């Protein structure tokens, strides 16, 4: 593709995204100002502004920032599996030598090398956010299906309405969404889940037509089991 053709393609994509933003704001009755992250909320319980980490920062700084932001168990992490015959997929703890039926192999630790491989796209890592003492450092709400983006945006709007900074992410499938809330330190997981449940109720009121059909789950879950507690990032 010629550079001029590539530039034209990028301009068209930018115009499409801008148009989509306008459409979503209109559907949610939000102004552009309301959609911005509230600066006043970046203190106290919630995470302060990120440190000076950019695309040109050294790899070590990026890894440290990632591990600080997405604080999770370090003794285990999850990897994605897919079954081509059944079309099923999911997450399972990474174990030494890989999974085999009937095997009982030790879990692999979430090392800096694994995080580095995840950041450059060599592996796709899932995290276990529930820490010792039933605490966590972040909350993620998972939405799936055709209405996922609108429902997630309603959840985001509910968070902004009470000055809770939240970040919206399109899921790996492209038809789902995640909404992330980061705390300034470890908080009781029950407190995080109570916040998430309250935001869901407020999102239903804001959306009007939201019936939780796209809502999947909150992370952290109520269990530390590595077979049930992974959150994809």
**Mean pLDDT in consecutive groups of 10 residues from the start of the chain, 233 residues:** 68 72 61 53 48 84 92 93 82 84 83 95 92 93 89 90 89 84 92 93 78 83 66 65
Last residue of a domain, one of 127, 150, 165: 127
Strands of the sheet containing 176-188, edge to edge, are 167-170, 176-188, 135-144, 215-219
Does 140 lie in the same domain as 41?
yes
- Maximum Cα interatomic distance, the chain, rounded to a whole number of Å: 57
The pLDDT value recorded for residue 43 is: 39
pTM for the model: 0.73
The pLDDT value recorded for residue 142 is: 93
Distances (CA, A) of 132 to 173, 231, 232: 31, 17, 20
The pLDDT value recorded for residue 119 is: 93
Say if 119 falls within a structural domain: yes
Does 216 lie in the same domain as 152?
yes
Q: Three-state SS for 160?
A: helix
The pLDDT value recorded for residue 196 is: 94
Does 218 lie in the same domain as 146?
yes
Residue ranges making up the domain that contains 7 = 1-36
């Amino acid at each position: 593709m010629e550079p001029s053709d590539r530039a034209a393609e990028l301009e068209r994509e930018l115009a499409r995204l801008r148009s989509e933003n306008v459409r979503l704001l209109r559907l949610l009755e939000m102004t552009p100002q309301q959609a911005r992250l509230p600066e006043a909320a970046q203190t106290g319980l919630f995470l302060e502004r990120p440190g000076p980490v950019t695309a040109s920062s050294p790899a070590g700084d990026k890894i440290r920032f990632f591990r600080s932001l997405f604080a999770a168990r370090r003794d285990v992490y999850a990897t994605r599996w897919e079954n081509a015959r059944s079309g099923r997929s999911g997450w399972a703890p990474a174990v030494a030598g890989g999974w085999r039926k009937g095997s009982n192999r030790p879990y692999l630790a979430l090392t800096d090398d694994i995080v580095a491989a995840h950041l450059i796209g060599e592996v796709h890592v899932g995290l276990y956010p529930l820490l010792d003492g039933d605490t966590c450092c972040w909350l993620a709400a998972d939405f799936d299906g055709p209405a996922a983006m609108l429902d997630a945006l309603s959840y985001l709007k509910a968070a902004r309405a009470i000055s809770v900074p939240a970040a919206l992410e399109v899921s790996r499938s492209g038809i789902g969404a995640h909404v992330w809330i980061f705390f300034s330190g470890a908080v009781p997981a029950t407190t995080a889940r109570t916040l998430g449940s309250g935001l869901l109720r407020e999102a239903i009121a804001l959306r009007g037509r939201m019936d939780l059909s796209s809502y999947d789950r909150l992370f952290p879950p109520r269990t530390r089991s590595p077979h049930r507690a992974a959150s994809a990032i």
